[in-house]
């Protein structure tokens, strides 16, 4: 047996996380509306909205709706953030996205995509009770 076969068999024995295949997943991509927010810093209003945005995502994570969120570390037109979530339907996922304070207050624009996590590493960042 070659090492590739051995590796595939070993990987095949790792059971998938029980949360991932049960509920449809979605990803929403966020782009800042004002790029200068990244290079010059946020305005007082943007700072308040971003704090609300983080609190919203934290609440979604605590509820089990949000699987992960993050952003690129670029500070130009390529910058974006993502939120990967589980939801019973696209309508529900869209409501989650549209209720994000950063979207409501026009600090970021967002686009929703049906999504599926294909692989979740056991050595990746883990949170208590998470996948």
pLDDT digits (tens, 9 = 90+) for 78-113: 999 999 999 999 999 999 999 999 999 999 999 999
Threshold 0.85, pTM exceeds: no
d(CA 57, CA 54): 5
pLDDT digits (tens, 9 = 90+) for 40-75: 999 999 999 999 999 999 999 999 999 999 999 999
In this predicted structure, the answer to whether residue 31 has a pLDDT above a threshold of 80 is yes
d(CA 31, CA 54): 15
d(CA 112, CA 81): 12
Tokens coding 97: 């996205």
Q: Where are the domains of the chain?
A: 19-115
- What CATH number labels 19-115? 3.30.70.1060
What single string gives the DSSP state of each residue in 21-58? TTS-EEEEEEEES-THHHHT---HHHHHHHHHHHHHHH
């Amino acid at each position: 047996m070659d090492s590739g076969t051995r590796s595939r068999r070993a990987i095949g024995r790792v059971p998938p996380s029980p949360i991932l295949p049960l509920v449809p997943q979605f990803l929403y991509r966020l782009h800042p509306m004002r790029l200068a927010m990244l290079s010059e810093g946020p305005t007082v209003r943007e700072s308040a909205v971003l704090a609300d945005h983080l609190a919203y995502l934290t609440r979604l994570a605590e509820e089990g709706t949000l699987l992960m969120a993050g952003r690129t570390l670029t500070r130009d037109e390529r910058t974006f953030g993502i939120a990967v979530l589980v939801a019973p339907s696209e309508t529900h996922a869209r409501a989650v996205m549209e209720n994000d304070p950063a979207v409501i207050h026009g600090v970021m624009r967002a686009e929703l995509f049906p999504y599926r996590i294909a692989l979740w590493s056991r050595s990746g960042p883990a949170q208590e009770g998470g996948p």
